[in-house]
A = this chain, B = another copy of it.
Amino acid sequence: MGKLLAVGTLAFDAIESPFGKTDKILGGAATYIGLAAANFKVETGLVSIVGDDFPQEYIDILTQKGINLDGVEVVKGGKTFFWSGKYHLDMNTRDTLATELNTLADFSPVVPEGFKDADIVMLGNLHPSTQLSVINQMEKRPKLIILDTMNFWMDNSLEELKEVIKHIDVITLNDEEARQLTGKYSLVRAAQEIEKMGPKYVVIKKGEHGALLFHDQNIFFAPALPLEEVFDPTGAGDTFAGGFAGYLAATENISFENLKNAVIQGSNLASFCVEKFGTERMVTLTREEVDQRLLQFKELTQFNIELQ
C-alpha cells in the first residue's frame, strides 16, 4: 500500500445546473481527490486550509473514508473558501458566480511529518508557488509528482507556473489550457511542447470527450463513459486526478502501461462524480459499482481486429 499526499482546496460550493441548484455543499479539489483515491488501497493525506465554519460533518465524511487530515489547518474565526458556479445545457461551459478566497488567501501549506515520504504527490489546482512549496517540503523525491492547473494561473502567474512545472512528472490540464500554455492548436504538438517544459507525461482532459495521455511518441486515449444524463460536472477533473493518483499509489507501479490503467481508473471514477450534485455520488460509491463500471469501460473500448 503506497502513500499519497494531496494538496488542494477544501471548500463550500454552491452549484446551479439545468437540473437544479444547491445551497452551500462540500466541495474543493482536495475533497474530490481524496474521495476518489479512497477507492484504492492507499494511505491518503490531505494538505489544505479551512475556517472554523467547516462543519464536523464534512470532516467526518473524509475521515470515515480513511483520509488523513493532519495537514489541514483550521483557522479560528476564519471562513472557508467558497465557490459558486452555474452550468449551461452543454455542461462544458460554466459561469463563476462567486469566488471568496477567505482563509485560502493566506494559505501556507505544511506537509505533516507522516507524509513527507509519500510515494506520490498530487498537487491540486492552486497558486503555483503553493504547489512548489509542497514539493520543497518533501524529505525525499517522491516517485511521481502530478500537477493539476488551470488557465487562471497562466493568465496571472505564468512564470511561477513554468517554474513548478519544471519539477513535476505528470501535468493534467484541459485542451484549451494546453493550447493556451503552448500556443499550439494541435494537442499532439501542445503535448510535445509541454514535455519540453519538464513533465515526462502530459494528460489532456477533454471533459465529455475523454482524456489523452502523452509520453514521448506514445499516446493513450480514454473516453468518458457516455451517460444518459450529466447532472453536475463539478469535481469531475479532480476526481479524475484523484483516481489517477490513487491507483498509481496503490499499485506502486509508474510504468507507462500502468499510467494507461490509471487514466481509465480516473475516467471511471469521474463518470460517477457527474451523476449527482457535488460529492454525493462519490460518498456512497462502492467497490462493486466501481468494478462493474470498469467492465463497461472495457466493453466500450476494446476490440479485436485481426489484420488481414
Contacts and interface: CB of A to CB of B under 8 A. Distances in A.
State the number of copies, please: 2
Nearest to A204: B226
A305 B219 contact: no
A258 to B, nearest CB: 9
A284 B209 CA distance: 31
Contacts of A298: 305
Given A206-B209, A209-B209, A188 B303 contact: no
A239 to B, nearest CB: 17
A161 interface: no
A294 interface: yes
A63 interface: no
Given A302-B302, A303-B220, A307-B294, A187 B260 contact: no
A273 interface: no
A221 B303 contact: no
A228 B186 contact: yes
Interface string A281-308: 0000000000100100011111111011
A222 B300 CA distance: 9
A305 B264 contact: yes
A265 interface: yes
Contacts of A221: 223, 226, 300-301
B303 A294 contact: no
Contacts of A101: none
A57 to B, nearest CB: 30
A303 B261 contact: yes
A152 interface: no
